[in-house]
Amino acid sequence: MRSLAILGSTGSIGTQALDVVRRNPDQFRVVGLGAGSSHQLLIGQIREFMPPLVAIADEHAAEELKKNLGPIRGIEIISGPEAMETLARESDADMVLNAMVGAVGLNPSLAALQSGKVLALANKESLVVGGELIMDLVKGEPDRLVPVDSEHSALAQCLRGERREDLRRVIITASGGPFRGWSRDELAKASVKEALAHPTWQMGPKITIDSATLMNKGLEVIEAHYLFRLEYNQIDVVVHPESIIHGIAEFTDGSMIAQMAAADMRLPIQLALGFPDRLGAGIQGLDLAKLGRMSFEPLDRDAFPAVDLAYRAGRLGLTYPAALNAANEVAVMAFLEGKIRLVQIAEVGAAVLDEHEAAPVVSEVALDRADRWARNRAAEIIESL
């Protein structure tokens, strides 16, 4: 039985991961749960799974949690900005699922790997911001880093057992989000409500907006670069509205291997939690005859410049991806608050990237400085718009 600690247990990935645990009670034991501030949902999770260690980042929410939960023997609650990192390092877990959102997920990812645990990674920013540091920790032990994103889970399955020298490129698929087919002029008028109405996936607001701008795909390109040791010219993006094929590997002889599945995040979560085993419970298979047909479209790079922005940051390396990610996080929040238009999210990211002066060496200190500078500069640019 595998013991799990789940960071971000009250979010979309975290709640679906716990559903996987419910469906496979003989496979998993939850020994740690962590949340930012959603203490009401966390209370129910604690009572159901009885983890010995619980982390909550917001100290006020932690006090409310303790008051509403009441005394339960054998459960320790820790709080504060470093609580997730402590949970990742000190919990009695074989595997840590990092389902946090944003750059705050990097330090818990590092803590999980530094303490010898397997890291199931749904927090893409860990690799976008700190890919060099993460990959250094799994050198010689690649199985300690297991992707949870549906696209990278798909690529891992396509590449399993294949010789790397036979690989020509990988293709990451994108649904196109709620604005597929929109022009840049039309996108300039897009509302927050429209941007949050994703046609395929149910996700948190930040990731949903990233999917609307396609920054999500750009960040996934940087992830793929690190996870699969690929050059950026070996990674392509194609729009696939049906979201049935999640990743494709093309080989030097022209052959392609594609991974297909219903658009259900429980499958890649289940594959990661059970790795290397496949678990049989809970995911509906595809009926190809009913599906009928699938379609593919080129990426509209003029309307959705965020993808090329991520390619640029990735190729520049060093602290450029950290700066772009931080600027994007600030700009997404500004859009959600009605301060800027959707198209200005990428504009803010591009302006910060243009001004960024990268540190010569990637370290936790350098990444933290780049992150703080980029957030401050993005906020200044937004105020001037």
Span 113-141, average pLDDT? 97
- Per-residue pLDDT of 315-347, as tens digits, reads 999 999 999 999 999 999 999 999 999 999 999
Provide the terminal-to-terminal Cα distance of the chain, rounded to the nearest Å. Answer: 54
What are the extents of the domains in the chain? 2-147, 152-263+302-384
Residue with the two structure tokens 């303790």? 66
- Per-residue pLDDT of 251-271, as tens digits, reads 999 999 999 999 999 999 999
- Tell me how crowded residue 185 is: count the other CB atoms within 10 A of its CB: 9
**Higher per-residue confidence, 202 vs 358:** 358
pLDDT band at 38 (very low <50, low <70, confident <90, very high): confident
Angle in degrees, CA 351, 325, 347, rounded to 5: 30
Provide the residue count of the chain: 385
Q: What pLDDT is recorded for position 67?
A: 86
Q: From residue 116, how far is each of 3, 82, 127, 145, 172 by CA, in Å?
A: 14, 19, 18, 11, 30
- Per-residue pLDDT of 79-100, as tens digits, reads 999 999 999 999 999 999 999 9
pLDDT band at 73 (very low <50, low <70, confident <90, very high): confident
Angle in degrees, CA 5, 8, 11, rounded to 5: 130
- Kindly report the average pLDDT of the chain as a whole number: 95
| pLDDT of residue 17 exceeding 80 | yes
- Edge-to-edge order in the sheet of strand 95-98: 76-79, 53-56, 28-35, 2-7, 95-98, 118-121, 145-147
Which residue, 313, 285, 151, 130, is CA-closest to 217? 151
Q: What pLDDT is recorded for position 282?
A: 67
Residue 268 near residue 148 (C-beta atoms within 8 A): yes
**Residue 78 host element (H or E):** strand 76-79
Q: What pLDDT is recorded for position 70?
A: 80
- Per-residue pLDDT of 269-319, as tens digits, reads 999 999 999 998 768 889 999 888 999 999 999 999 999 999 999 999 999
The domain made up of 2-147 has a fold known as: Rossmann fold (3.40.50)
Provide the sign of the torsion angle of the four alpha carbons 123, 180, 260, 163, taken in this order.
Answer: negative
- Per-residue pLDDT of 144-160, as tens digits, reads 999 999 999 999 999 99
Residue 309 near residue 353 (C-beta atoms within 8 A): yes
Q: What pLDDT is recorded for position 275?
A: 94
Span 187-214, average pLDDT? 92
Which residue, 360, 363, 347, 377, is CA-closest to 316? 360
- The residues near 235 (Cβ < 8 Å, ≥ 6 apart) are 169, 170, 172, 221, 224, 225
- Distance CA(10)–CA(39), nearest Å, equals 9
Q: Which CATH class is domain 152-263+302-384?
A: mainly alpha
Return the bridge partners of 251, or none: 167
- Distance CA(199)–CA(202), nearest Å, equals 9
